[in-house]
Structures are given as C-alpha cells and as structure tokens.
Amino acid sequence: MNFKSIGNRRILDIIDIPIKLDKKPGLIKQLTEAKSLAKDLSKKNITFEIQLKGAPVMKLGKEAKPKLAKIVTLSSDIEITDLKKLKKLSDLI
C-alpha cells in the first residue's frame, strides 16, 4: 500500500493485500457504512481517494462527484470512479 497526502487530498493506493478476511459485509453495506466518514471528510474539506494499483476506484469527501453511489448510499460525498475495480478490490479483501 502507498499513502500520499497532497493539500486536502489523501490517496491510498492498494497494490497488494497480504491477508484475506473470511467474513465481511457485502459491497452495498460497506458503501452505506462509509457514508458518515465521507460526510465528515467533506465537512473538513478533505478528499480521500482509494486506488487499486494506481487506478482510481472511489473518492470520499469534498471532491466526490457521485452518480451511481448516490442511488445506493443517498450520499453526495461518495463517488465510485470504477465499479469493476471496486468490486475487484472488495473481492481481494
């Protein structure tokens, strides 16, 4: 994993996940649970971007421009950049 902080942006780039979790909530539940974190980040003018091997997967917070995620989470603070990579990331964890 790589982590960068540039101004009000925090970027987590997941390269490899060395462990696998057996029991985890589904993708929709995970997105719904991220709602309060995303709202707090937005209030603090912070954007948290999650990447998979350098490619953007999702954004939480200030710079999020939601489309699909807003339908699922009812949040204006979560953006899914690449649904396929988000699903892949969810499967890896």
**Token pair belonging to 45:** 């003018």
Using CB atoms within 10 A of its CB, is residue 67 exposed (0-12), middle (13-18) or buried (19+)?
Answer: exposed
Between 59 and 15, residue with greater pLDDT: 59
Closest CA to 60 of 38, 45, 35, 34: 38
In the chain, where the domains are located = 2-17+24-92
Pairing of strands 2-6, 47-52: unpaired
14 forms beta bridges with 52
Tell me the per-residue pLDDT of 26-85, one tens digit each, with 9 for 90 and over. 666 777 778 889 999 999 999 999 999 899 999 999 999 988 777 777 889 999 888 888
Q: What is the pTM of this model?
A: 0.73
**Token pair belonging to 66:** 């939601």
